[in-house]
Chain A
């Protein structure tokens, strides 16, 4: 009878009953994120994120391609906002080569980037709400996302992986129809926003599930290297569009929303306000859109000559041959880091150039990768349901995280 004590379960902080593998096949891990959860009942004692299931070696692939042909690789990073990836890449390569896109191209890029941001944030809203159980928001958000997809299709020929910007400009000029549609979309978008907010914004259950969950203080946000809505939700107004404006961002007016508590709800509010601000930026871009060229005068060094001229003109033939085989050869030796504000956060392109047509090293600073590392901080001590809310609020895309 003296053995009872042996069987008495001691409850201490380290006790775990169950090791649970959340992902890589799980409906709410947004792709192939895998979380190793040590559970005590439903309470998370330890959370270990495992990544790499979608690793495709984009950085290494970039070293093997010319600056021109590496562009489509960036579509597949954050495939929710491929337009923004492309633009970030082009801005970085332009800086390396010391060229600049003409004004009209900058405005078109800004417009497209904000459309991409709305599209990405809508997908975030849809899946975040779906994860927390509000299934209806999903389809409402996708309705507007489809409009953007159609606009992209008209403009670029592709819906998801657009590869639209070019080094030194953009591929096609915008049509009047596209401009009209973009303006009409930006006009009516706030009313659609109200529809989403009717469903969840003041919903008691939504507030209970998001307020006070996954709190990140301002200090922690800085220490963990967060960016984008994640750091703004914690009350730090860090937005690359404001601090180091690229493209036409210095000419448009917009607010940078910040949160106060740094919880899931604040980040939700930040993103919702950003959606409205993006619509405003699109409107301004349409109204201010200047006339002129869409490619830098130097850009022919980066773009293939028309096919008929290749067939008839010796210069063009040589030009095409060199571009295809060796890439643009005018890069300075050295290195360049350019960060752009993606919907997910700060996406940085770092190039080391040895003067050849291919980057010696291409390094990508992916916000999703940084944000995934903060998951343990947010989840430990919470419940399984909070993990889902936290993954949703991170807004990570594993294509970008694993690269």
Chain B
């Protein structure tokens, strides 16, 4: 089966006309790749904006408040007002800060989120690039976060920020391991790192999803979800910013647009991680049809299915934040090294044995005929 990325499809659609108009091919190729990239960047920002709104509203509901209701209907475009406000704020760089690193850090954090979005299959053929190392790619780029956090912590020349940066390094690097191990359980089943193929080998119904493939993948899903919470610094693992301990942690010296970039990255990564969990464990946008051959309306339905699985996961992440206290850094690292990594390893080995014993089949899921 031939697979395309969105860029290739765009290229195919327009190449004849464009070449006839005399546009040189390299320009066309770059344009074909730039369009989906821009779409994804905007998608991340839009998702981040809507998630901040959701966070306001959900936290308000949980805490017996009303929440944002002034800007737009039901306060829906509050996030735009926030964005404008942050954009107009004075951009302060502390005198003693390392200016270059200070300016660079937010973009590294953001780029990690946006890069991860490249390989997330949004349903149908809507994927920027279906890399055959998709899962590895996503794990690698999400480690970039550490660089950004450490950089911002160091460059701020503030002790709180430094502590936040160092905490994030300890935390994100530790939790990378269970995250990757739990994803590997699924890689064992599918035999591919490509996310689109992972989605396509699942089905419409819950028993065709990999979360219910075998008991160990079920455990792996929860390990993945909790580790991912830790990896993106959400409560109960929000140590790098822990506002009651480290004031605001790594971003304490940031203001205005740079500050908001950190936040776009944070909320963007909530969306990405939820999307990844939905794609790998919950069948993504699969409705039992071939994503490339189906007509457009079915493809849009797939996108709808993908979002129907992603959004509840995002909401769970927000829900957890407003109902849980914060762990302590050593307790969290203990949890990772003593429990999560051994359990994730056990799941990996057990999945391998399961596949060996049952000839690659799950409880309900059947190995497709070669």
Binding site for B on A (CB under 8 A): 18, 20-21, 26-28, 42, 129-136, 138-140, 143, 199-200, 203, 205-206, 208-209, 383-388
Which residue among B235, B243, B244, B325 has the maximum number of chain A CB atoms within 10 Å of its CB? B325
Contact present for B64 and A131 (CB under 8 Å): no
Q: Which of B123-131, B193-201, B326-334, B342-350 contacts A (4 or more CB under 8 A)?
A: B326-334
A385 adjacent to B247 (CB under 8 Å): no
Decide yes or no: A208 and B322 within 8 Å by CB, A130-B244, A133-B235, A143-B64 being known contacts.
no
Q: Which of B299-358 contact A (CB under 8 A)?
A: 321-331
Instruction: Say how far B221's CB is from chain A's closest CB, in angstroms.
Output: 20
Pick the contact of A136 from B62, B159, B245, B329 — CB < 8 Å? B62
- Chain B residue numbers with a CB within 8 Å of A18 are 159
User: Is B242 close to A, CB under 8 A?
Assistant: yes
What is the chain A residue whose CB lies nearest that of B167? A42
Residue of A nearest to B328 (CB): A385
- 20 contacts across the A-B interface (CB closer than 8 A): A21-B159, A26-B247, A27-B244, A42-B167, A132-B325, A133-B236, A133-B244, A133-B325, A135-B59, A136-B62, A136-B63, A139-B65, A140-B64, A199-B323, A200-B325, A205-B324, A208-B327, A386-B328, A387-B245, A388-B244
Measured between alpha carbons, how far is A252 from B303 in the docked complex, in Å?
67
Chain A residues lying within 8 Å of B330, measured Cβ to Cβ, are 42, 383
A127 and chain B: residue at smallest CB distance: B244
Min Cβ gap B20→A in Å is 60
Whole-angstrom distance from the CB of B63 to the nearest CB of chain A?
A: 4
Shortest CB-to-CB span from A36 to chain B, Å, is 12
Say whether B324 contacts A133, CB under 8 Å: yes
**Pick from A27, A206, A386: contact of B243, CB under 8 Å:** A27
Contact status A28-B245, CB under 8 Å? yes
Question: Complex: how many Å from CA A203 to CA B163?
Answer: 27
Distance between Cα atoms of A135 and B235 in the complex (Å): 10
Assess whether B329 is in contact with A42, with CB atoms less than 8 Å apart. yes
Chain A positions within 8 Å of B63 at CB level: 135-136, 138-140
Distance in angstroms from A176 CB to nearest chain B CB is 30
Q: From DSSP, what is the main secondary structure of chain B's interface residues?
A: loop
Minimum distance in angstroms from B166 CB to a CB of chain A: 8
Closest partner residue, chain B, to A132 (CB atom): B325
- Chain B residues in 8 Å Cβ range of A27: 243-244, 247
Interface string of B212-248 (1 = CB under 8 A from A): 0000000000000000000000011010001111110
From B64, B247, B322, B328, contact of A135 by CB (8 A): B322
Q: Are A42 and B163 in contact (CB under 8 A)?
A: yes
Query: Chain B: which residue is nearest A135 at the CB level?
Result: B322
Query: Which single residue of chain B is at the shortest CB-CB distance from A28?
Result: B244
The residue in chain A whose Cβ has the minimal distance to the Cβ of B63 is A139
Bound together, the chains give a CA A138 to CA B321 distance in angstroms of 14
CB contacts (< 8 Å) of A135 on chain B: these are: 59, 63, 321-322
Is there an interface contact between B325 and A203, defined as CB atoms closer than 8 Å?
Answer: yes
Contacts of B324 in A (CB 8 A): 133-134, 203, 205
The answer to whether A385 and B242 have CB atoms under 8 Å apart is: yes
The interface residues of chain A lying within 8 Å CB-to-CB of B167 are 42
- Residues of A near B322 (CB, < 8 A) are 135-136
Which of A131, A199, A385, A388 lies at the interface centre, i.e. has the most chain B CB atoms within 10 A of its CB? A385
Partner of B323, one of A130, A136, A209, A388: A136
